[in-house]
């Protein structure tokens, strides 16, 4: 009896995560309608990742004391794909929801690419390949300070072309930074083509394993799978940094973008956005 | 009085080592680059010393993460690789971050100018003053001897900003008194008070400026020497007060000239004050040094030798 009650509760938990993800997707499209210069497709592939982290109680945060020592650190290394994180931060109380209506407008704190002037963003990103190395420094500092907090990093798969990433991959494995959890939004598309047509990154998991990382792979839009993998990673102190290859679809939720290898640079018309919003709501 | 030659790095690291004993907030990273004094540091503080490997980009990024968590960080490497291989990491993670957050990261670059004379142009560092001065929120410190290098220890802890410490690679005699009260905060030091012409120099070139001033004195010309310790920020008003008593200035730097280095700094100040002081910039022109030879020989090839400096000073005074 207790068992089935648990499952029921868990189901509700995941239904709630799905509903939240759906809301985030709609809000993201609304933001893009206001600010068409934002990178929509890159932001849509990460919706479930952001949602599970911030509504699944995986990340400890305190929106009232932003630099609280006992917060988990979260670096969004793929800064261009972060407009879908704005509605979450607003909803979680980092800033007013009214800000979401002013993205990229004069006086707004929310730009096309986020900066730490936005409460909830830890680091400067936008130029790719910096987040993992900085995250290594943070993870190392937390270990030296004997603190239990984790460092989460979100990176795109295209970002893996940056050499600095691999300097950090080597470093994290060698220094056994098991308090570092890297999530790769593996949407398989760069700006101009599918990654496999540029420089094939596969076998990606094996590459990380070779550098002494703990590797998991999951459907990056399945909240249950995402939650399970991240929960397990968070609980594990096995002396290995963690990487979750979250297989996603660039432009997820917008059929036209999902099949377009140039989705990175595609915008929606206002009409398209309205139709999608009506459909998703 | 004994004036033993010492390297800036050894004196700095020795001073830092004593600080690390009492200050647990200091963290030292290097990109596989050593010094005899570093051996003691790495043995004494294995939990606060990491050799990141030959990986300058990651050196800067790891330093940033540590600094964001409150550590005062030293990132130690060969100067041209530190500031040029990892320039974008410095721009993003030091310069940009420091405008929004307090981070204390000290880039300790060894090998200013032609310190690594025979290693050739990959190891020469002639661009660093220009490119590091271009970055907002980053200080550029250029000691001329090991006394000042040692003073950088306290300064680096006290001033909680990103800084670039431009150290010479060779053992050099000291210029300043061991108990000198000179402060880096002052920005510059008028080592010799002259009447006609003044040498404005930084780093290694201050040693040559002092010699040139002594030689001119024997020929009846009173030359001043101003040693520039801080290349950013610059205390322009105070510096101008010292400069304006001279009719002519020779700016000496072991760096490319006419492209944003010490010379541009001085010309900028003079221009903003509407000054008509005559200025001659001496340094390296717009090409790399592939020739082989000692530092002195390479200086001669590039007309930075003692005779050329004196000749230019006299020429300027006659104009």
Query: What does each C-alpha distance from B237 to B186, B187, B240, B272 come to in angstroms?
Result: 12, 11, 5, 10
Helix (H) or strand (E) holding A21: helix A2-34
Show the tokens assigned to B102: 């307090």
Residues in A lying within 8 Å of B, measured between beta carbons: 115-117, 122-124, 127, 129-130, 132-142, 144-145, 163-164, 167-168, 170-171, 175
Contacts of A168 in chain B (CB under 8 A): 58, 61-62
Would you say residue A5 has pLDDT above 80?
no
Phi, psi of A194 (to 5 degrees): -65, 140
Would you say residue A199 has pLDDT above 70?
yes
In a 13 Å sphere around the CA of B128, the CA atoms on its Cβ side amount to: 39
Q: What is the pLDDT of residue B268?
A: 98
Which residues, listed in sequence order, are joined to residue B250 by a DSSP beta bridge?
B199, B280
pLDDT per residue of chain B (319 residues) written in tens, 0 to 9? 468 999 999 999 999 999 999 999 999 999 999 888 999 999 999 999 999 999 999 999 999 999 999 999 999 999 999 999 999 999 999 999 999 999 999 999 999 999 999 999 999 999 999 999 999 999 999 999 999 999 999 999 999 999 999 999 999 999 999 999 999 999 999 999 999 999 999 999 999 999 999 999 999 999 999 999 999 999 999 999 999 999 999 999 999 999 999 999 999 999 999 999 999 999 999 999 999 999 999 999 999 999 999 999 999 999 8
User: What domains does chain A contain, in order, with CATH numbers?
Assistant: 10-280 (3.40.50.970)
Q: Which distant-in-sequence residues (6+ apart) come within 8 Å of A156 by Cβ? A: A42, A77, A78, A81, A128, A184, A185, A187
Average pLDDT of the residues in A160-182: 98
Mean pLDDT of chain A: 95
Helix (H) or strand (E) holding A154: strand A151-156
Helix (H) or strand (E) holding A151: strand A151-156
> Is residue B220 classed as helix, strand or coil in its secondary structure?
coil
Q: What is the pLDDT of residue A281?
A: 85
Q: If you count them, how many residues does chain A have?
A: 281
B161 backbone φψ class: left, alpha, beta (φ>0; ψ -120 to 50): beta
Alpha-carbon torsion (A21, A26, A27, A28), positive or negative: positive
- State whether A141 and B92 contact (CB < 8 Å): no
Helix extents (H) in B90-235: 97-100, 128-133, 146-158, 205-218
Q: Name the DSSP class of B29.
A: E
Nearest by CB: B58 against A115, A117, A168: A168
Q: Name the DSSP class of B70.
A: T
- State whether B65 and A171 contact (CB < 8 Å): no
Show the tokens assigned to B138: 């980053």
Q: For B146-180, b where at least 16 C-beta lie within 10 A, e where not — what string?
A: bbbbbbbbebbbeeebbbbbbbbbbebebbbeeee
Q: Which distant-in-sequence residues (6+ apart) come within 8 Å of A155 by Cβ? A: A77, A78, A131, A132, A165, A182, A183, A184, A185
Nearest by CB: B93 against A134, A144, A163: A134
Instruction: Choose, out of B65, B71, B85, B86, the residue to mutate when testing the contact with A (most A CBs < 10 Å).
Output: B65
- State whether A164 and B47 contact (CB < 8 Å): no
C-beta separation of B281 from B270 below 8 A = no
- State whether A170 and B57 contact (CB < 8 Å): no
Q: What is the pLDDT of residue B134?
A: 98
- Count of C-beta atoms within a 10 Å radius of residue B94: 26
Query: What does each C-alpha distance from B273 to B105, B197, B239, B240, B316 come to in angstroms?
Result: 34, 19, 11, 8, 21
Q: What is the pLDDT of residue A9?
A: 58
Q: Does B318 contact A at CB distance below 8 Å? A: no
Of the pLDDT bands very low, low, confident and very high (cuts 50, 70, 90), residue A158 is very high
Q: What is the pLDDT of residue A7?
A: 52
Contacts of A130 in chain B (CB under 8 A): 61, 89, 92-93
Q: What is the pLDDT of residue B133?
A: 98
User: What domains does chain B contain, in order, with CATH numbers?
Assistant: 8-167 (3.40.50.970), 189-318 (3.40.50.920)
Report how far residue A76's alpha carbon sits from residue A86's, in angstroms, rounded to the nearest whole number. 12
Query: What does each C-alpha distance from A218 to A191, A206, A222, A244 come to in angstroms?
Result: 23, 15, 8, 7
User: A-contacting residues of B 12-51, CB under 8 Å?
Assistant: 27, 47-48, 50
Would you say residue A4 has pLDDT above 60?
no
Average pLDDT of the residues in A51-78: 97
Report how far residue B106's alpha carbon sits from residue B99's, in angstroms, rounded to the nearest whole number. 16
Of the pLDDT bands very low, low, confident and very high (cuts 50, 70, 90), residue A1 is very low
Report how far residue B231's alpha carbon sits from residue A200's, in angstroms, rounded to the nearest whole number. 46
Cis before A203 (ω within 30): yes
């Amino acid at each position: 009896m207790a068992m089935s009650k648990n499952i029921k509760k868990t189901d509700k938990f995941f239904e709630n995560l799905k509903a939240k993800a759906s809301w985030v997707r709609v809000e993201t499209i609304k933001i893009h309608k206001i600010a068409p210069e934002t990178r929509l497709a890159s932001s849509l592939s990460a919706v479930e990742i952001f949602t599970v982290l911030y509504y699944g109680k995986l990340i400890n945060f305190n929106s009232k004391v932003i630099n609280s020592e006992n917060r988990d650190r979260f670096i969004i290394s793929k800064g261009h794909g972060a407009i879908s994180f704005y509605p979450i931060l607003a909803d979680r109380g980092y800033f007013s929801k009214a800000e979401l209506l002013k993205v990229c407008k004069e006086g707004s704190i929310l730009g096309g690419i986020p900066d730490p002037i936005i409460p909830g963003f830890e680091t400067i990103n936008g130029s790719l390949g910096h987040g993992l190395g900085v995250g290594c420094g943070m993870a190392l500092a937390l270990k030296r300070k004997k603190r239990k907090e984790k460092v989460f990093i979100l990176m795109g798969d295209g970002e893996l072309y940056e050499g600095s990433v691999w300097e950090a991959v080597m470093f994290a494995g060698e220094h056994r930074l098991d308090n570092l959890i890297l999530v790769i939004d593996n949407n398989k598309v760069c700006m101009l083509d599918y990654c496999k047509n540029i420089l094939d990154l596969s076998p990606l998991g094996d590459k990380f394993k070779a550098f002494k990382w703990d590797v998991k792979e999951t459907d990056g839009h399945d909240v249950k799978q995402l939650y399970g993998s991240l929960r397990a990673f968070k609980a594990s102190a096995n002396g290995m940094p963690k990487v979750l290859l979250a297989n996603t679809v660039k432009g997820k939720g917008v059929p036209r973008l999902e099949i377009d290898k140039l989705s990175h640079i595609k915008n929606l018309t206002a009409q398209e956005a309205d139709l999608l919003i009506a459909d998703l709501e | 009085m004994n004036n033993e030659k010492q390297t800036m790095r050894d004196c700095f690291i020795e001073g830092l080592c004593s600080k690390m004993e009492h200050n647990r907030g200091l963290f030292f990273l290097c990109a596989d680059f050593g010094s005899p004094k570093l051996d003691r540091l790495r043995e004494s503080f294995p939990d606060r010393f990491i050799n990141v490997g030959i990986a300058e980009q990651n050196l800067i990024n790891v330093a940033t993460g540590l600094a964001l968590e409150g550590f005062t960080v030293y990132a130690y490497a060969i100067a041209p690789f530190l500031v040029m291989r990892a320039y974008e990491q410095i721009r993003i993670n030091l310069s940009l971050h420091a405008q929004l957050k307090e981070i204390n990261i000290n880039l300790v670059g060894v090998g200013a100018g032609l310190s690594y004379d025979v290693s050739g142009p990959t190891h020469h560092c002639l661009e660093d003053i220009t490119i590091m001065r271009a970055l907002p929120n980053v200080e550029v410190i250029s000691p001329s001897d090991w006394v000042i290098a040692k003073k950088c220890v306290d300064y680096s802890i006290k001033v909680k900003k990103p800084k670039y410490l431009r150290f010479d690679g060779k053992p050099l005699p000291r210029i300043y008194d061991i108990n000198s009260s000179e402060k880096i905060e002052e920005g510059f030091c008028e080592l010799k008070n002259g009447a006609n012409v003044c040498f404005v120099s930084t780093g290694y070139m201050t040693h040559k400026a002092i010699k040139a001033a002594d030689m001119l004195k024997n020929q009846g010309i009173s030359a001043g020497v101003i040693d520039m310790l801080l290349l950013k920020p610059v205390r322009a008003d105070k510096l101008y007060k010292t400069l304006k008593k001279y009719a002519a200035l020779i700016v000496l730097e072991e760096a490319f000239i006419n492209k944003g280095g010490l010379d541009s700094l001085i010309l900028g100040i003079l221009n903003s004050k509407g000054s008509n002081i005559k200025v001659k910039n001496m340094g390296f022109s717009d090409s790399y040094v592939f020739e082989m030879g000692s530092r002195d020989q390479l200086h001669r090839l590039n007309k930075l030798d003692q005779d050329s400096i004196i000749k230019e000073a006299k020429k300027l005074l006659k104009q």
